[in-house]
Amino acid sequence: MSTRIAERGLDVLGALLLALIIGVIGKRFNAAAAAGQSVASTSPSGQAERRVPSYPSQLLLPPTSFAGGRSTIALLLSVGCPWCEASASFYNDLLVANGGSAFRTIAVLPQTIATSKDYLRSLRVSVDSIYKADLSKLGVEGTPTLLVVDNTGHVRWGWAGGLTAQQEDEVFNKLNLRRPATSAAARVAVLRPAVPTTITTAQLAQELSAGAMVPIVDVRARDQYRQWHIANSVNIPVDELEVRASHELPVHAKVVVYCHYDPRCEVGAHSQGLSTFCSSATYILTRLGFTSLRVVSEDVHRINNSRLRLVFTQGDAGL
């Protein structure tokens, strides 16, 4: 009798937990819909469908960033971001139309202020102030992202990714700015980079076991590399590639890049004109003359049968 009561109690508890989970998911879905953002879903084939990239509701920078009573146009960019470069003429038009009067203008990048200044100068994008920040901690999914922020740091409008001509016009209309007359022929068309060639861990292990000399570059941060990495790989963090890659990697070899690649996220970001960690790394290397790049397509430390030798902080191990 007591066993039946216990089983019945567990059934009730399970039903309550299921209802709670469904309720939480429903609230998140409704909140996203109310904010004008679509929710990621999966197609019958198992592939992620196109999703409108989100942006933070508040830009958490020092309060002085938004002082002065005016709203602020914030450009969230990163060195090595191909879509940032493709959008440079649009940003320049926007800043010229603003004329330094209607809105304050800032740029936020993860690189040093000096590096960011040089990068913006190369794009011919001139802003009032430049800030260094970890974009992921600000809630920014990818670059480029354009935000219009009030004097308290709250985001009024935002656009993420490379914009279409219609979306660019929408930005000007929202800000009540008139776009400068620019000849279409004078605008430089920048092609989106192709999705990189990938290599599985099994294929990489097979090449290494056959004695092939395969240069492997791990572009993650140093602390992540120290936790674990593929044996004999060299660590060049993505923000150091411009300076170090040509000196430490053979330009004409088939270089393998490890960048914590997620195929579904990469393809989704590519379709939305968003730069990712991996696309930035391959873009920089391609620009430096590395033409035979292959990206490890799997998350190595989660694979049990890769036969790759990994190095951990505790010592060497194979997954």
Identify whether 75 is part of a domain.
yes
Whether the pLDDT of residue 36 is over 60: the answer is no
Q: How much is the pLDDT for 305?
A: 61
Question: For a pLDDT cut of 70, what percent of the chain falls above it?
Answer: 74
Say yes or no: 267 and 312 in one domain.
Answer: yes
pLDDT over threshold 70, residue 204? yes
pLDDT(131) > 90: yes
Q: What is the mean pLDDT of the segment spanning 309-316?
A: 72
Task: State the average pLDDT over residues 21-45.
Answer: 35
Asked if the structure places residue 4 within a domain, the reply is no
Residue 278 contacts by C-beta under 8 Å, 6 or more apart in sequence?
196, 257, 259, 260, 261, 266, 295
In angstroms, the CA 297 to CA 201 distance is 7
Q: For residue 26, what is the DSSP state?
A: H
Tokens of residue 299, six digits: 């998350």
Q: Is the separation of the CB atoms in 103 and 94 below 8 Å?
A: no
Mean pLDDT of 216-225: 93
Same structural domain, 226 and 302: yes
Residue 82 lies in a domain: yes
Residue 53: per-residue pLDDT: 58
Domain containing 285 — which CATH number? 3.40.250.10
CA distance 58 to 12: 41
196 pLDDT band, cuts 50/70/90, is confident
Q: Give percent of the chain above pLDDT 90.
A: 36
pLDDT over threshold 70, residue 142: yes
Q: Which pTM value belongs to this model?
A: 0.61
Does residue 217 sit in the same domain as residue 172?
A: no
CATH number of 109's domain: 3.40.30.10
Query: 68 and 178 share a domain?
Result: yes
- Number of Cα atoms under 13 Å in the Cβ half of residue 231: 16
Look at residue 256 in the predicted model and tell me its pLDDT. 96
Which residues on neighbouring strands pair with residue 132, listed in sequence order? 109
Candidate from 41-50, 98-107, 158-167 with smallest mean pLDDT: 41-50
- Residue 213, domain extent: 198-318
